Amino acid sequence: MSRLIVISNRVSAPSAQGGAQGGLAVAFQAALREFKGIWFGWSGERTDEFTGNINFQRNEGVTTATVDLEEQDIDEYYNGYANRTLWPLFHYRIDLAEFERGFADGYQRVNERFADTVRPLIEGDDVIWVQDYHMIPLGQELRQRGCENRMGFFLHIPWPPRRLLSSLPQAAELVATLFAYDVIGFHTEEWLDAFRDYVVNEMGAVLGDDGEIRLGDRTVIAIACPIGIDTKEFVAAAASPTARLTYRRIRDSADGRDLIVGVDRLDYSKGLEERFLGYERFLIDHPEQRKEVFLLQIAPPSRGEVGSYQHIRAQLESLSGRINGAYADIDWVPIRYVNQGFPRPVLAGIYRAARVGLVTPLRDGMNLVAKEYIAAQDPEDPGVLILSRFAGAALQMEEAVLVNPYSAEELSDAIATALAMPKAERLRRWRILMDSVEKEDVLWWRKRFTDVLIGEDEAEAESAEAQ
């Protein structure tokens, strides 16, 4: 039986207590248990000198293998090329993208280091699945080290339009390295189309049948494969005692007012400033509603070493302060702005207590919060999801109230629509959304990708053997 080697920038070891973990961690744990595999990546720790020493851990049937990185690697590869160059560019923020040769060199160096380190762990019939924009050239580095295994790559962020990507120095060289993989996955047809447009029109690649794309002597299969959440786990989390307690705490403190909730990593792609301005527009347009609602925005800081993240944090503090200063009363504050992370059952209780879920990124590969919000709702009395048209999730979640997040007026109207929505209509929309969140969950996503990577017949045989 072949093993699955998952390679990603960060690795989160499963905790024996089943503690707070993101959707991806759960997906890979399930995948690795089924296939008997290894999850390899950066530990998140720094070291004085890179040694390539691997720290193996075995927990809950999953083996993780992590390495520490040097300060310069972290600066150039992670804070640099990944988060100052590729992330803004792939989220259409060319104004924030920094193009420095040192970043590109560091990115390449770390990918070579990862390849050197992981190569000896790979055996003949292992299947390799590389994750995300931090690791684009890794497949090619492994091929150059004699690795002939089946290899897949999944991009968790959008693929940018051709003209935008062309502004990246050596873009075509970077994209060409993707042809070292056998399968490339994107969340949506939109990102897949943009990829095809780039490789065909900028690089002379040729489209074949069944998702095949040929460049020189390499052929890859490129697919759209939208990620989901671990719906069963999240529904259970929403029914847990912790979630119920959280729900009661919020309802008590709400004093009969409707809660509108936003939960996002503090990132400029998530549209938080625009969201605050749209909510302010709602307060202006609907003065009668002012003390009937409040917005709880949860935004744990991320990537604090990058200047644009420090900037957005300062902007949001000032904007929430200004709005609260302008509209608050002695017994009401319009925005509760919280900069901390919460365990998943707490988050589930918060979502469930919210009459409206406000998920309005300016650009997002998928967006799991939209799906978590739906999964956490009370089936008898669900809330309403307001979702940006520019989140990958919008393509699967058309029963949400879809908005253009750049328009304060549209956001204001959407909030008014959501708050006034009759129960029958809320139930109708939620049922359809929940059906898709249940059907296309994270295990469905993992299976869909690995079926293409391994070949469906073989995947079924593997799965039967594992049971």
Residues annotated catalytic, as ranges: 156, 364
Helix 231-238 × helix 368-375 angle, to 10°: 50
Cβ 45 to ligand ADQ shortest distance, Å: 21
Question: Which positions from 128 to 167 touch ligand ADQ by CB under 6 A, shown as an x/- string?
Answer: ----------------------------xx----------
263 sits near ligand ADQ (criterion: CB under 6 A): yes
372 sits near ligand ADQ (criterion: CB under 6 A): yes
Whose Cβ is closer to ligand ADQ: residue 145's or residue 265's? Answer: 265
132 alpha-carbon distance from chain centroid: 10
Question: Which positions from 341 to 360 touch ligand ADQ by CB under 6 A, shown as an x/- string?
Answer: xx----x-------------
Cβ 396 to ligand ADQ shortest distance, Å: 12
Collapsing DSSP states into helix, strand and coil, what is residue 390?
coil
- Contacting ligand ADQ (CB under 6 A), which of 65, 86, 220, 227? 227
State the number of CA atoms in the 13 A half-sphere of 265 facing the CB.
Answer: 11
- Contacting ligand ADQ (CB under 6 A), which of 300, 304, 321, 379? 300
Whether 360 contacts 388, CB under 8 Å: yes
173 alpha-carbon distance from chain centroid: 26
Whose Cβ is closer to ligand ADQ: residue 141's or residue 372's? Answer: 372
Nearest residue to 108 via CA among 146, 77, 69, 65:
77
- Contacting ligand ADQ (CB under 6 A), which of 298, 375, 376, 442? 298
226 sits near ligand ADQ (criterion: CB under 6 A): no
Q: Which amino acid is at 9?
A: N
368 sits near ligand ADQ (criterion: CB under 6 A): yes
Residues in the interface with ligand ADQ (CB under 6 A) total 19
Cβ 308 to ligand ADQ shortest distance, Å: 15
Whether 57 contacts 16, CB under 8 Å: no
Of 193-201, 241-249, 339-347, 375-383, which part binds ligand ADQ (CB under 6 A)?
339-347
Residues contacting 178, CB < 8 A, separation 6+: 136, 139, 153, 184, 220
Whether 157 contacts 194, CB under 8 Å: no
Collapsing DSSP states into helix, strand and coil, what is residue 388?
strand
Helix 344-353 × helix 231-238 angle, to 10°: 70
- Contacting ligand ADQ (CB under 6 A), which of 14, 23, 80, 357? 23
Nearest residue to 376 via CA among 260, 226, 271, 247:
247
Q: Where are the alpha helices (DSSP H) in 204-296?
A: 231-238, 241-254, 272-285
Whose Cβ is closer to ligand ADQ: residue 157's or residue 283's? Answer: 157
Of 43-51, 367-375, 403-411, 430-438, which part binds ligand ADQ (CB under 6 A)?
367-375
Whose Cβ is closer to ligand ADQ: residue 127's or residue 299's? Answer: 299
Q: Which amino acid is at 164?
A: L
Nearest residue to 371 via CA among 245, 232, 242:
232
Nearest residue to 410 via CA among 307, 294, 297, 282:
282
Cα distance between residue 90 and residue 92, in whole Å: 5
Whose Cβ is closer to ligand ADQ: residue 27's or residue 421's? Answer: 27
99 sits near ligand ADQ (criterion: CB under 6 A): no
Whose Cβ is closer to ligand ADQ: residue 306's or residue 369's? Answer: 369
Whose Cβ is closer to ligand ADQ: residue 132's or residue 462's? Answer: 132
Of 51-59, 93-101, 362-370, 455-463, which part binds ligand ADQ (CB under 6 A)?
362-370
216 sits near ligand ADQ (criterion: CB under 6 A): no
Q: Angle 322-327-330 (CA atoms, 0-180°, nearest 5)?
A: 115
Question: How many Å from the N-terminal Cα to the C-terminal Cα in the chain?
Answer: 12
Whether 364 contacts 391, CB under 8 Å: yes
62 sits near ligand ADQ (criterion: CB under 6 A): no
Cα distance between residue 72 and residue 52, in whole Å: 15
- Contacting ligand ADQ (CB under 6 A), which of 135, 295, 366, 403? 366
Cβ 138 to ligand ADQ shortest distance, Å: 18
386 sits near ligand ADQ (criterion: CB under 6 A): no
The total number of residues written for the chain in this structure: 467
Whose Cβ is closer to ligand ADQ: residue 234's or residue 327's? Answer: 234
Applying CB under 6 A, the residues found at the interface with ligand ADQ are 22-23, 156-157, 227, 263, 265, 298, 300, 341-342, 347, 364-369, 372
